[in-house]
Homo-oligomer: A and B are copies of this chain.
Amino acid sequence: MPTLTIAQIAELAGLESDSHPAKLPRGPLVRRVAAIGDATPDALVFAQDESSLDAAMDSTAGIILAPRKLVTGHAAELPSKQDPRVLAVLDPRYVFALAAKALAPAHEASIHPSASIHPSATLGLRAQIGAQAVVEAGVTLGDDVTLGSGVVLCTGTTLGSRVVVQAGAVLGGTGFGYATHPATGEHVLFPQQGTLVIEDDVEIGANTTIDRGALGETCIGAGTKIDNQVHIGHNCRIGRNVLIAAQAGISGSCTIGDGVVMAGQVGLGDHVTIGPGVILGGASGVFPGKRLEGPGQMFMGVPAEPLKDYLKSIARVRRLK
């Protein structure tokens, strides 16, 4: 089991601990992260405001991350003199998450005997594959991949390294594209024989579905995180470090820029383009073929408009102004 000293956590946080080794106490040493209410001497906790900092200092927590602005009377980058367990950092929640990652047990190979892995699939190093999971013919996995129980990776799917797919997600399914007979109304499936590429460090939630390309590729960029029950259609190109919350739906052939944030239940029509860094509020919708741009700009409503305009529209409808 990994452990972390306060000096090592300071280093994770980007504080120059190496240059001030004497100033950092040897102990304490933590083995896990915890909520303040569950703290024990081997636990790291974090505080975000004065009251939680007080609670943390009243607990037996081994190390306490505190916002730098709350820890006065000390060199900002050093633990509090009042309590040697306190490490002041810019963003305690972020450092807490980094520490949790460092404390996690090493990724070790583990393939559940009930999983169904086609002989033609290529697994990377240390694959962790849950019960009843399915890896179909020709699928390729990078290293340190984690597949939850009941995950299905369809033919045509490639996963990068450190990809995590939670239980019940279906990756690489047949897209929804049909050609319709003008007289009879019968629908014929447009060929859906393309591929799905999931790049490194992507994390995908439970029961999410991502379809492979029709003739080309669907691609999810490195570092993108996707919540539960998200749907992504064929031929989409999702950028890097995108966040997509639960039940959002992205129709076919959309392009999503790097760092976009999509809240829950957002809906995009097909061929939509969302520029890098755009933020889409919950349940907002974008009509087919439209383009939204503006890093850091938030859009809301159906059809989505800039937040300021949306608030005006709502106020107008409700006769608040």
Contacts and interface: CB of A to CB of B under 8 A. Distances in A.
Copies of this protein in the assembly total 3
Interface stretch (A18-26, A54-62, A77-85, A244-252): A244-252
A191 B97 contact: yes
A303 interface: yes
A292 interface: no
Interface in A205-238: 205-207, 209, 211, 215-216, 223, 225, 227-229, 231, 233
Interface string A166-207: 111010011010111110111111110100000000010111
A178 B251 CA distance: 25
A249 B247 contact: yes
Interface residues of A, number: 94
Contacts of A101: 188-189
A76 interface: no
A285 interface: yes
A318 B314 contact: no
Nearest to A99: B191
Interface of A: 33-35, 37-38, 91, 93-94, 96-98, 100-101, 112, 114, 116, 130-132, 134, 136, 148-150, 152, 154, 164, 166-168, 170, 173-174, 176, 178-182, 184-191, 193, 203, 205-207, 209, 211, 215-216, 223, 225, 227-229, 231, 233, 240-241, 243, 245-247, 249, 251, 258-259, 263-265, 267, 269, 282-283, 285, 287-288, 301-303, 305, 309, 313-314, 316-319
